[in-house]
């Protein structure tokens, strides 16, 4: 019996990268999974591959920035599996501009995906979990929520905001025993491979499975116990010192 048997988890942005790593790690512990992303064919391929492990896995296409699509995602999940025990707000995006050159449209796209998306999904989850009197929301922020990299104002602001959202949801979910937490990963292999080899050499890089392992340890905590923060990064990644 797995450590997550009988748990129903929704993972956003699950067709690639960290989301997929978490999905695979949850699947290995017996969880029932609802995977979501916008790209239908890639999402369905990922779901089929993960379902080979014998888990119940459902792919539901949704854009996390769209209120109606998210409501539908939760409705279909409850219809299929009766409840939601875990939401992983992982879907995210980035953009690279010096602040002076950052177009408003790019700012809005990043803030909507990385911050408004987790709010919309988190609100649906909190509504359900408050009634259940149990549940867990795991937000995937970034160490950028603690200290910026250059040319990443939108991303950094969205991730700092996600930390605030985590704390607020944790506070508002507390009376109903809902645990809300944040994982702050450093460099991790993902779909975007450009520049990663060099990054690996210079700073070190984690596997999505490493984030998956900690996400499992968190998801498997007893009801009522919360890992509010989990900052994790390659040992060699420049972050701890001044720069």
The residue (of 191 and 207) whose beta carbon lies closer to another protein is 207
- List the x/- string, 38-67, binding to ligand NAP by CB under 6 A: xx-----------------------xxx--
Rounded to the nearest 10 degrees, what angle do helices 67-81 and 117-132 cross at? 30
Residue 1 interacting entry, from another protein, ligand NAP, none, C-beta within 5 to 8 Å by type: none
Handedness of CA 87, 141, 167, 107 (dihedral sign): negative
155, 159, 161, 210: the active-site residue? 155
- The binding track of 111-130 with respect to ligand NAP, each residue x by CB under 6 A or -, is --x---x-------------
* Ranges within 200-219 binding another protein (CB under 8 A): 204, 206-207, 210, 213-214, 216-217
Q: Is 184 one of the annotated active-site residues of the chain?
A: no
Residues counted in the chain: 243
- Residue from 10, 125, 126, 179 touching another protein (CB under 8 A): that is 179
Q: Which does 140 bind (CB under 5 to 8 A by kind): ligand NAP, another protein, none?
A: ligand NAP
Measured distance CA(99)–CA(112) in Å, rounded: 18
Q: Which residues of 199-236 are buried (b: 16+ CB within 10 A; e: fewer)?
A: eeeeeebbebbbbbbbbbebbeeeeeebbeebeebbee
What whole-number distance in Å separates Cα of residue 243 and Cα of residue 225?
A: 35
State the residues that interact with another protein by CB under 8 A.
167, 170-171, 173-174, 177-179, 204, 206-207, 210, 213-214, 216-217, 221-222, 224-236, 239-241
Show which residues are catalytic. Answer: 155
């Amino acid at each position: 019996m797995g450590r997550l048997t009988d748990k129903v988890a929704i993972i956003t942005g699950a067709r690639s990268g960290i989301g997929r790593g978490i999905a695979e790690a949850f699947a290995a512990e017996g969880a029932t999974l609802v995977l979501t992303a916008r790209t239908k064919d890639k999402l369905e391929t990922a779901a089929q591959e993960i379902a080979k492990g014998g888990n119940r896995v459902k792919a539901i296409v949704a854009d996390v920035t769209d209120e109606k699509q998210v409501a539908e995602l939760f409705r279909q999940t409850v219809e299929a599996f009766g409840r939601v025990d875990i939401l992983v707000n992982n879907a995210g995006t980035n953009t690279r501009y010096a602040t002076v050159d950052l177009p408003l449209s790019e700012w809005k796209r990043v803030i909507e995906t990385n911050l408004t998306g987790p709010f919309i999904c988190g609100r649906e989850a909190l509504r359900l979990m408050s009634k259940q009197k149990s549940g867990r929301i795991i937000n995937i922020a970034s160490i950028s929520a603690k200290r910026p990299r250059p040319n990443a104002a939108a991303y950094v602001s969205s991730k700092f905001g996600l930390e605030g959202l985590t704390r607020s949801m944790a506070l508002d979910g507390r009376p109903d025993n809902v645990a809300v937490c944040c994982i702050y990963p450093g460099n991790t292999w993902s779909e975007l491979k450009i520049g990663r080899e060099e990054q690996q050499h210079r700073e070190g890089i984690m596997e999505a499975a490493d984030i998956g392992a900690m996400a499992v340890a968190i998801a498997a905590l007893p009801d009522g116990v919360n890992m509010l923060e989990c900052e994790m990064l390659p040992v060699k990644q420049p972050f701890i010192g001044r720069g």
